[in-house]
Structure 1
Amino acid sequence: MPAKQLQPDPQQEALEWFSLLRQPGCDEPLRQAFAAWCQVQQNAQAYAELETFWQQLQPPPARPRPRQVAARRSHLGKWLALLFLLGLGAVAYLYWPLMQRLGSELHTDVGERRSMRLADGTTLHLDSASAMNVDLRGRTRHLHLVQGQVFLEVMLDGRAMEVEVGDARIQVFGTRLQLARHAGHDELVVLSGKAMVLQGGDQRMVSAGERVTFDGKRIDPLQKADLKTADSWRSGRLKATDMPLGQVLERLAGYQGQRLWMMDEQTAHRRVSGDFNLDRPGESLESLAAAQHLKLQGVLGHWLVVR
C-alpha cells in the first residue's frame, strides 16, 4: 500500500492526456472522459498551458518568398528546424523518465512508495519514481527494473529468477535483496541468501551482508553492506552513513521530482552521515545545504543546481 496519499498533479495528468489523445485509435469514450476531466479548472488550465507550450515548439508555416532572397530564407528555415528539434529533444529528455514509468507494468509516482504481492507470492516494495516489468510465465521468472529502487522478498517455488538491470542480469538464489538504479551506476544489496551479477563476460557472487555496484562497463569489488540502514527508505527515512554527498542530494532531489546538477564534482564526493526525512525532501535538502555550506537553485521545476 502507498506510504502516503498524494494530491492530484494536474501537470502530470495533462501530459498523460496529451499523449493519449494523439495515439491512433483515440475513441469517443476517451474524449468524453477527457472533457469530464477538463471540467476541473486547474486541470483545464494545466492542459491549456501544455498545449500552448507545444504550439510554441511548432515551426512557423511556410510563406511565399521572393526568389532573390530564397537562399537567405532557406538558411533561416534550417535554423528554425534545428531549434525545433532541439526544443523537442529537450522536452523528450525532461519527460522521458515519466513516459518510461507510464509504459511499465508496475510503477510509482514521485514521492510514492508501494508494496505489492505477485502471483508467485513474491513481494515487491517499490521506492519513489520506480518502475518494473514482470514476467512469471516461464520456467525462469523474469523481472526488469526500469528505473528507481526495489526491495524484493522472493518466494522460492522451484523456479529460477532473474532480474534485468540495465545491461546486467541478476540471478537470484536468496530471499531478500535490494536493487537500485542511480545516475551513474546500479547497486545490489543482498540481505539474505545469494545473488549472481552477470555483466558482459564478468560475474560476481554476492552473499548476505554484501553490496556491489556496477555499470555498463564493469562490476566493482564487493563491499560490506550496512543492513540496518539499507532499506530505511521503506519507512520514509534516508539513513546515510559515510555516504557520498552527491548521492544523498540525488536521492532527496529525486523525491521531489528533480534531477541533480552538481557544479563542483569534488563536493559530490564529500562523505556525510545523517538521518533525512524522505517525506519532506525540501526541508531535508535545505538543512543539508546549510550544514554543508551549499547553495541550491531550482530550474524550471526539473533540475536542482547545487553550488
Structure 2
Amino acid sequence: MAKDAPDPTLVTALEWLVRLRDDKASDADRRAFQRWLAQDAAHAAAWTKAEGLWRRFDVVEPEIARLRRSQAAMSRRRALAVGGAALIGAGGIYALGRGDLMADVVTDVGERRTLVLADGSSVELGSHSALSVDVTDRGRDLRLFRGEGYFDVAADAGRPFRVHAAGGSIQALGTRFDVKHVDGLVTVAVAEHAVAVRAADAPAAIRVGQGWQVSYGRDGLGGLVRADLEAVEAWRQDRMVFQDVPLRRVLVEIERYRRGRILLLSGAIGAIPVTAVFDTRQPDDALQTIADTLPVRVLRATERIALVYPAW
C-alpha cells in the first residue's frame, strides 16, 4: 500500500456504513456484511473506527441546525447592515466561526449577494463569505473574514478604500478587483486600474496593475502573475473554471459551494491536475465528473460528508 493511501479496510467499512444506512438495504446486504465482519479481526476494528467517525458527524448535525437558526436571528437583528446564515467547516467539525460573529454580511453556501455601500461603492460577495464594513469620514475599511468578493470602488480621494484579509490589506487605487480568502490563502486579481497589496508583516506594499494578480498567506507574498480574469470572475456567472489546477485545490473550491465537507484521504492524488468547467449550483455533479474522469473514487458517507480516495 502506498504511503499516502488510505487504509482499504477502513474504506470498505465506510462503504458498508453507507450501504446499510440506505433505506434500500436488504436482508441479503446485512447477511453479506456479517460475513465480511467475521472474516478478519481487522474488519471489526475498522468497523469500530468507521462507526466512531460516523457518530462524530451524527452528533454534530443537530448542532448545525441550531447554529444556523442562531445566526439567522442575529442577522435579522442587524438588518441595517444586511446579514445572513452561513455554515463553516473546520477540521471536520462544523461551528459558528469568529468571522460570522464579527461580520456585517454573511452569505450562505451557494449564495451570492451584492451590497451598495454608503459611498456608492459596490461589493458582490460569493458563496460562504463573511465581510464587515466600516465607512467613516476618514476611510473605508472592509474586512473579508473568508470567501470571495468583487469590489467596484467609487472614487473618493479623501477616504482610502481598503480590504483587510488574513493580516494583510488591499488598498484600491481607483479600481475594480477580486479578493479570494480561502484556506489561509488570499488571492487578489485586478480587473481595472490598480491596487496596493501589503501582506502581513511585509515592510512595504506592492502595486498590482490591471490584468495581474498576486497571492499571500502563511508562506508570505508570492510574485506577480498574469490573471485569467475570465476564470477569476467565473463565480459571478455560477461557474468554476480550472486549468491544470491540483485536485486538492479543486476540492477546496467545490467545498465552498456544497454543504458539508470533502475529505481527501490520500495525498498521493492531491496533485493530479484538473482542467474543467463546473456549475457552482451543482457541486455534487462536479464530484461525480471527477470520479468519472480521474483515477479516484468518491464515497458519499453522509449527505454532508464526501470521501475522495485513489481508485487503485
TM range (shorter): 0.5 to 0.7
The residue number in structure 2 matching 1:114 is 113
CA contact (8 A) 1:100 1:146 kept: yes
Report the CA distance between 1:12 and its aligned residue.
Answer: 5.0
Report the CA distance between 1:257 and its aligned residue.
Answer: 2.3
Picking from 262, 273, 287, the partner of 1:271 is 273
The residue number in structure 2 matching 1:169 is 169
- So what's the TM-score if we normalise by structure 2? 0.67
CA RMSD, 1 decimal: 2.9
CA contact (8 A) 2:64 2:94 kept: no
The residue number in structure 2 matching 1:96 is 96
Picking from 253, 257, 260, the partner of 1:258 is 260
The residue number in structure 2 matching 1:289 is 291
The residue number in structure 2 matching 1:183 is 183
Report the CA distance between 1:201 and its aligned residue.
Answer: 2.5
Picking from 240, 246, 260, the partner of 1:244 is 246
Q: Are residues 257 and 136 of structure 1, via their aligned partners in 2, closer, same or farther at CA, if it must alter by over 3 Å?
A: same
CA contact (8 A) 1:212 1:220 kept: yes
The residue number in structure 2 matching 1:41 is none
The residue number in structure 2 matching 1:73 is none
One-letter identity of the residue aligned with 1:179: V
What is the aligned-residue identity percentage?
A: 26
Picking from 221, 230, 242, the partner of 1:228 is 230
- What is the rounded CA distance, in whole Å, between the counterparts of 2:293 and 2:214 in structure 1? 29
The residue number in structure 2 matching 1:86 is none
CA contact (8 A) 1:166 1:216 kept: no
- What is the rounded CA distance, in whole Å, between the counterparts of 2:263 and 2:136 in structure 1? 41
State which drifts further: 253-262 or 154-163: 253-262
Q: Which has the higher contact order (CA 8 A, sep 6+)?
A: 2
| Cα displacement string for residues 60-105 of structure 1 (whole angstroms, at most 9, x for unaligned residues) | xxxxxxxxxxxxxxxxxxxxxxxxxxxxx989x52134x6335410
Is 1:192 equivalent to 2:192 in the alignment?
yes
- What is the rounded CA distance, in whole Å, between the counterparts of 2:91 and 2:237 in structure 1? 35
The residue number in structure 2 matching 1:15 is 67
One-letter identity of the residue aligned with 2:211: G
Report the CA distance between 1:286 and its aligned residue.
Answer: 0.8
- What is the rounded CA distance, in whole Å, between the counterparts of 1:273 and 1:238 in structure 2? 10
The residue number in structure 2 matching 1:144 is 143
Report the CA distance between 1:303 and its aligned residue.
Answer: 4.3
One-letter identity of the residue aligned with 2:257: Y
One-letter identity of the residue aligned with 1:175: T
- So what's the TM-score if we normalise by structure 1? 0.68
CA contact (8 A) 2:184 2:218 kept: no
Report the CA distance between 1:262 and its aligned residue.
Answer: 2.0
- What is the rounded CA distance, in whole Å, between the counterparts of 2:250 and 2:216 in structure 1? 18
